[in-house]
Amino acid sequence: MGETVLLGSKPLTRDEVVAIARGSVNVRLTDVAARNVATAREHIDALAEATQPTYGVSTGFGALAVRHIPADRRAALQRSLIRSHAAGAGSAVEPEVVRAMMLLRLRTLASGYTGVRPATAAALTGLLNAGIAPVVHEYGSLGCSGDLAPLAAVALALMGEGEVFDAAGNRVPAADALREAGLEPIAPAEKEGLALTNGTDGMLGMLVLASADLHRLLDVADLTAAMSVEALLGTDRAFAADLQELRPHPGQARSARRMFAALAGSEIVASHRGPDCTRVQDAYSLRCAPQVHGAARDTLSHTDLVADRELMSAVDNPVVFPDGRVESNGNFHGAPVAYALDFLAIPVADVASIAERRTDRMLDVARSHGLPAFLAADPGVDSGHMIAQYTQAGLVSELKRLAAPASVDSIPSSAMQEDHVSMGWSAARKLRRAVDGLTTVLAVELLTAARALDFRAPLRPAPVTGAVRDLLRTRVDGPGPDRHLAPEIAAAEDLIRSGAVLDAVADQWEEIR
C-alpha cells in the first residue's frame, strides 16, 4: 500500500472509496481535520461537566433518552451502548464492505462534527490501515439511526472485543489482532458510542462498490450483446448515431456507440448486408439493447449523484457545530441511499433479462439462423449449452425478486421512538446479490456467443468481438463434445470480474470511452 488518501482536505471520491475498501490504499487525517476533531471534542468535554442534559453525553439512547446518566456512569454508558448494539446475526458480510463502512465512518469523524477524541479517530485509522476487518453480521441494521449493529461491531473491535478478520483473512479474536498489529484498544468516552455507530456508512459503502462493479458490467453487457447480434446475423444499422440522436438519452447513445464500434469490420455482419437479405429488422433483444443498457447507465448516473452527495455529508446525531452547539437531527435516516439502492436493482434485473433472451435465441434452431441446436457439436447426443440457459433463467428469476424494493417497508423500533426506518442496509445486501447474479448471466451469454461465432467460421468476427472470443479461448475450449460446463461458466465469470474482458478491447474501444 504505497498510496495514501488524505481525509479532511476534500470529499472522498467513489474511486478512492473502492480502492481503500478493496485494500490497495491507506488513509490519513489531514492536520486541518485533526484540529477540527480536537476542537469539537473540547465542546463535548465541556458539556460532560455541565448540569444541562445533552443527548448521547449525559442521557440514555433512543427511547431511553429521557434518562439522565450521572457523571461517574457515562463511560460505562458508552461501553454498554456498543456492546448492546453489536447485536447482529447471520453470516459475516464481505471484508470489503466492512472496510468501506469503516472508511466512511472515519470520514465523518474527520469532519469535526461528531465530538470524538483525536485518539479514537486515530484508532479507527490504525485498524483500517492494518487490514483488519471486524466481523459484521448480515442482519441487524434497519437503515435508520444509522447502520447501528454493523457499526457497533466495528466499535466493539476498537475496544478489543468481538472477532475480526486479520490482514491474512483469518477469523481471530479482536484483542489478538490488535496486539499483533501493535494497536491499543480504546475505552470510549462521552458521545463516542453514538459517533461510532450513527451513520449510513454500510449502505453507502455498498452503493459505491456496486456502482463501480456496474459501470464495468454495463460495458461488458454492450460487448456480449454485440457478440450475440453478430452471431445471430443481426444488423448494426439500428445502432447508428443518427438514429440514436432522435432520442437523446446519454446512456443509450453511449451503449449504441460502443456496440456499433464493437461490430465494425465484421465479416459476419458484412455477409448479410446486401440486397439478398430479407430480414428488415431484428428481434427486440438485439435491436433494443442500447435502449435497455442505456437506461441502466442513466439510472446509474443518478445513483452516482446520490452517492457523491452522501460522500460530502456529515451523518451523525447529535452533531457538534464549531460554535459549540450540539443539535439533534434526522440526517442518519437512510432513505436517500436506500431509494438509490432499490432503484439500481431494477435495471440490473432487466439487463440480465434481455441478455438471457439473446442467449435463448442462439440456442433455438428455429430462431438462430443456421446455428446447430443448442450449439451442440452433435445435437441429440450432445446437449450443448441447453442447461447453461436454465442457469441464466433461474438467475434472472431471482434478480426479478431482488428488484422488489426494500425501502417501502418499515418496522417501528425502540419503543416507537424510531417509528419509521429506511431498510437501506437490506436494499444494499440484495443489490450485492443482484450484481453477482448479473455477472453470471453475462458470463453465460459470453460463453454462448463466443461458441456461436466459432460456428460462423470461416467468416471472421469483428476485431473487438474477436478479441473477446480469443481471450475466452485461453481458458475455455471451442465447440466439441459435451464436457463439464460449470467450470467454463466460472472461468467466464472470472474473466469478467478481473477486468480481463474489458482490457482485451481497451485499445479498440479507447476512442469511444
Is 231 within 8 Å of 449 (Cβ atoms)?
yes
Alpha-carbon distances of 460 from 195, 269, 471, rounded to whole Å: 61, 9, 15
Phi, psi of 150, rounded to the nearest 5 degrees: -60, -45
Phi, psi of 359, rounded to the nearest 5 degrees: -60, -45
Could you give the 3-state DSSP secondary structure of residue 5? strand
Q: What is the identity of the amino acid at 185?
A: P
> For residues 125 and 107, what is the distance between their CA atoms, to the nearest angstrom?
10
> For residues 58 and 76, what is the distance between their CA atoms, to the nearest angstrom?
11
Could you give the 3-state DSSP secondary structure of residue 108? helix
Among the listed residues 55, 284, 339, 390, the single catalytic one is: 55
339 in catalytic set: no
93's grid cell:
458480510
Helices (H), 7-51: 14-21, 31-49
Alpha-carbon distances of 26 from 4, 15, 107, rounded to whole Å: 5, 13, 13
Q: What is the identity of the amino acid at 82?
A: I
Is 342 within 8 Å of 349 (Cβ atoms)?
no
Is 427 within 8 Å of 154 (Cβ atoms)?
no
Is 269 within 8 Å of 236 (Cβ atoms)?
yes
Beta bridge pairs of residue 382: 379
254's grid cell:
453511449
Dump strand ranges (E) for 106-160: 133-134, 137-139
Q: Which residues, 6+ apart, have CB-to-CB distance to 225 below 8 Å?
A: 259, 286, 289, 293, 354, 355, 358, 445
Is 116 within 8 Å of 199 (Cβ atoms)?
no
| Residue with the three cell numbers 467466464 | 492
Is 437 within 8 Å of 398 (Cβ atoms)?
yes
Catalytic site positions:
55
